[in-house]
Amino acid sequence: MRKKIPVSFSRRVEALEKGQNAQKRKSVAMFPRLVSVDEWGELAGQMQSVLKDNIKKDAAPDYGGLPKLELVASR
């Protein structure tokens, strides 16, 4: 006994197959690049000093002059 497959079903399967072949790996999240303990400690010390100064002034901290962490994609 033969069953008929709807044309719309076969089109959906073709579209899925094309999408899987052409699809690249997408980034799921961005995380800071791992740095050494010494680098991390130096950056944390600088951030703490900025935070301490701004708490005394009762103002929002401005970390603009500090080096930024490099973000890398997670797959």
Closest alpha carbon to 72 in 38, 29, 35, 26: 29
Residue extents of the structural domains in the chain: 28-57+71-75
Which residues fall within 8 angstroms of residue 73, CB to CB, at 6 or more apart? 27, 28, 29, 30
- Residue 72 has a pLDDT of 83
Q: Flag whether pLDDT at 22 surpasses 60.
A: no
- Give the helix ranges, DSSP H, for the chain: 7-22, 37-57
Q: Structure pTM?
A: 0.47
Instruction: Indicate whether 37 pLDDT > 70.
Output: yes
Q: What confidence tens digit (pLDDT) does each residue in 48-72 have? A: 988 888 888 887 878 788 777 788 8
pLDDT reported for residue 65: 80
